[in-house]
Amino acid sequence: MKQAMLTAAMVLGLAGAAMAAPPVLELADPQPKSVKSGLAVTYAYPIDVKTLSDARTALKKEGVAGRPLAGLDYPDTREGAKVMTSDKAYVVAARINGYMKFDAPGVYEIEMFSNDGLDLSLGGQRIAKLDERAPCGSAGRRRVEVKDAGWYKLSAVYFQRMGTSCLQMEMGKDGAKRKQVSNAVFGY
């Protein structure tokens, strides 16, 4: 009897967790009237960067505007290749701002890939946080709900210390296969 009650409680708990509604992204208000393609980026090149806190401090002290990013499709580089649109291959901090456009409402699953640290928010919800040095890999997968088509604010802090770098976003409607997000959906 005790085992049956425990099993029933576990099943109900798992069902409740599976049925929990994903967080709802907030539509940018006001909606931007015109946007340039890509994402705005500010870089800093500190002596060292090992955490998101280090990256934020460097960006606050010495951030300089960089060439806009095409989007979030920067696959793992070879050793010594420059980080995204920055001037350096190592010890780079970046603040990324702009918008992401959703053409249809629905539940989406978003997965971020990063090397090294990343703290990314979209529509007022944290999508991914990785506060460590690591090879290119998943920085988090998140289910979110989009109630209305339109532009959603995107902001991120990213850092890369040594070795290779990457920053990519994959997405798919709930239950569908995720694929690389097109650069065409980003604006600033």
Per the prediction, the chain carries an average pLDDT of 91
Q: In terms of Cα–Cα distance, which of 117, 122, 123, 73 is closest to 92? A: 117
Q: Can you give the residue ranges of every domain in the chain? A: 24-187
Q: What is the pLDDT of residue 140?
A: 87
CATH, domain 24-187, list 3.90.1530.10, 3.40.50.300, 2.60.120.1560, 2.60.120.10? 2.60.120.1560
Say what the pTM is.
0.88
- Mean pLDDT over 13-24 rounds to 68
Task: Give dist(CA 169, CA 74) in Å, integer.
Answer: 9
Token pair 């959703």: residue: 102
Q: In terms of Cα–Cα distance, which of 15, 108, 111 is closest to 72? A: 111
Name the phi and psi angles at 53, rounded to 5: -60, -45
If pLDDT is split at 50, 70 and 90, which confidence band does 20 have? Answer: confident
Q: What is the pLDDT of residue 99?
A: 98
Q: Which residues contact 86 (CB under 8 A, 6 or more apart)?
A: 43, 45, 66, 92, 94
Q: What is the pLDDT of residue 14?
A: 43
CA distances from 84 to 64, 123, 149 (A): 14, 23, 29
Q: Which pair of structure tokens corresponds to residue 151? A: 């532009």
Q: What is 83-135 written as a DSSP string?
A: PTTSS-SSSEEEEEEEEEEESS-EEEEEEEEEESEEEEEETTEEEEEE-S--S
